[in-house]
Structure 1
Amino acid sequence: MELIKRIQRVISANFNSVVASKEDPEKILEQAVMEMQENLLRLRQGVAQAIATQKRTERQAASAQSTAEEWYRRAQLALQQGNELLAREALTKRQSYVDAAKTFSSQIGEQIEIVDRLKKDMRSLELKIAEAKTKKDMYIARARSAEASYKLQEMLSGGSATSSLNAFERMEEKVLQIEAKSELITQMGSDDLQKQFDSLEAANDVDSQLAAMKTQALSEGENTPQQQLPQGENY
């Protein structure tokens, strides 16, 4: 049926437009499902109307058949009473209702086919709506994930993220500078202290060496015999 084909084209177009569209995917999918449900509602109303038309035609056919039978009995009654002219008129009237009953019966067959086709289309659309709802949930989840990923990448590559990262880098550099200065001051203090101890140790070494030299000189003086100056020599 043309209606169900048009609905299918609308469904396909709506779902395919989600990927390329810059609009909110959730709104697009919700709108697509809503349109499908509206189409289903109209289709159900069409089925109900077709069934009602079929039932009305069936009642009309039954009524025409019943009326035709009634006129046939009247024709029999007129003929039994010897009134052939009246019997002929009754049969003529009966024939018009027989023809009407045949027309209604033919319409009933066509209407049954229409109702069956509409019911089939309705069941097909119901299945497609169920499938669309499942796809909608899946596409919405994927769209949310893609949007979150996009925002994250945008944040990481954007100016604000770069500025924030640069701020951390500057802070790290500043901390490293402070640590280097602290280490340098500590090292300088340690060097000054070391120099003082080195000076003390050097002084002690000099004193020790001087004392040793004095001791050695004294010892050598005691062990060396004194030389007598020759008498009569004056200087």
Structure 2
Amino acid sequence: MSIFSRFQDIINANINSLLDRAEDPEKMIRLMIQEMEETLIEVRSTSAKVLADKKTLERRMAALEKEADTWEEKAALALLKDREDLARAALAEQSAANETLEIAKEELLALDSHVLDLNSEVAQLQQKLNDAKAKQKSMLAREQTARSKLEIRRRFNRDKLNEAFEKFERYERKMDDMEAEVESYDIGSKDLADEIQDLARDEKVDQALEQLKARMSQKAK
């Protein structure tokens, strides 16, 4: 199992555990990011170690190549000196060095593959970490909005809303009664302007009455 796969298992386990315990979402997100950062450090540390092993192996391979060449030179020198026995022994050492070199080449290929896998995991993990950090504020804001809406709905469910409307209607009715009571005191009462207008109207009636009496008196004569 790769480190990245193990990391995903850790994150999933933590998420499930936090959800089961109804932990604070902010704490959950912070823990996820912390897990990502710690795993990223671990993967990079492993990658650095593999790269160091690769350099060590490359130096070893260079030494084996040089050793094989040296044994070949010694075998050639032995033949020049008519020492075929020494030449054979030198070539045997060269063969052993070459065999070790081939094994080292296979190890190098495996290390190269491992480095590529680690680089891919680092890139994926870094991208996920960047995405998580970018979405952290948005996720917390969404959680807060959802929590607020839920709290409002819990506080003001349908029954409570109906109760609130009924209270409002009772207060409205009470205001109507108060206003009606005020208006009842005004019934049959007149203000100063109305009384003055009535006096003016009475005076006109009186004048008309006197004029009518005068005309009738003249006709009687």
Tell me which amino acid in the other structure corresponds to 2:106.
Answer: S
Inter-partner Cα distance in structure 1 for 2:137 and 2:12: 16
Evaluate the alpha carbon distance shift between residue 183 and residue 17 of structure 1 in structure 2; reply closer, same or farther with a 3 A threshold: farther
Report the CA distance shift for 1:24/1:91 in structure 2 as closer, same or farther (over 3 A).
same
CA distance in 2, matches of 1:21, 1:72: 71
Give SS of 1:113's match.
helix
Report the TM-score when normalising by structure 2.
Answer: 0.67
Q: Distance in 1 between matches of 2:173 and 2:56?
A: 90
Structure 2 CA distance for aligned equivalents of residues 45 and 169 of structure 1: 71
Query: Take 2:143 and 2:30, find their aligned partners in 1: how far apart are those partners?
Result: 13
Query: Is the partner of 1:96 in helix, strand or coil?
Result: helix
Deviations 1:192-227 (A, max 9, x none): xx9xx9xxx9xxxxxxxxxxxxxxxxxxxxxxxxxx
SS of 2:82's partner is: coil
Q: Give unpaired runs (5+ residues) of structure 1.
A: 202-235
- C-alpha separation between the residues in 2 aligned to 1:34 and 1:170? 56
Whether 1:119 and 2:119 are equivalent positions in the alignment is yes
Describe how 1:144-155 pairs up with structure 2 within 5 A. 144-155=144-155
Q: 1:156: Cα distance to partner?
A: 3.8
1:139 matched residue in structure 2: 139
The TM-score normalised by the length of structure 1 is: 0.63
The CA RMSD measured in Å over matched residues stands at 4.1
Q: Which has the larger radius of gyration?
A: 1
Residue 63 of structure 2 aligns to which amino acid in structure 1? Answer: S
1:57-96 paired onto structure 2 within 5 Å: 57-96=57-96
Matches of 2:18 and 2:188, distance apart in 1: 69
Contact 1:14 1:29 in 2 (8 A): no
* Change in CA separation of 1:181 and 1:19 when aligned onto 2, cut-off 3 Å: farther
Name the SS of the counterpart of 1:148 in structure 2: helix
Give the Cα–Cα distance (whole angstroms) in 1 for the partners of residues 144 and 18 of structure 2.
13
TM-aligned CA deviation for residue 115 of structure 1? 1.3
Shift of 1:166: 9.4
Separation of aligned partners in 2, 1:154 and 1:172: 26
| Aligned twin of 1:224 | none
Q: Distance in 1 between matches of 2:162 and 2:36?
A: 46
Unaligned runs of 5+ in 2: 203-221
Tell me the matched-pair count: 196
CA distance in 1, matches of 2:187, 2:122: 88
How many angstroms does 1:5 deviate by?
A: 2.1
How far apart, in 2, do the equivalents of 1:38 and 1:65 lie?
41
Partner letter of residue 7 of structure 1? F
1:75 CA displacement = 2.4
Residue 23 of structure 2: SS of its match in structure 1? coil
**Could you tell me how far 1:3 is from its partner in structure 2?**
2.4
Q: Give the equivalent residue in structure 1 for 2:183.
A: 183
- The percentage of aligned residue pairs carrying the same residue is 28
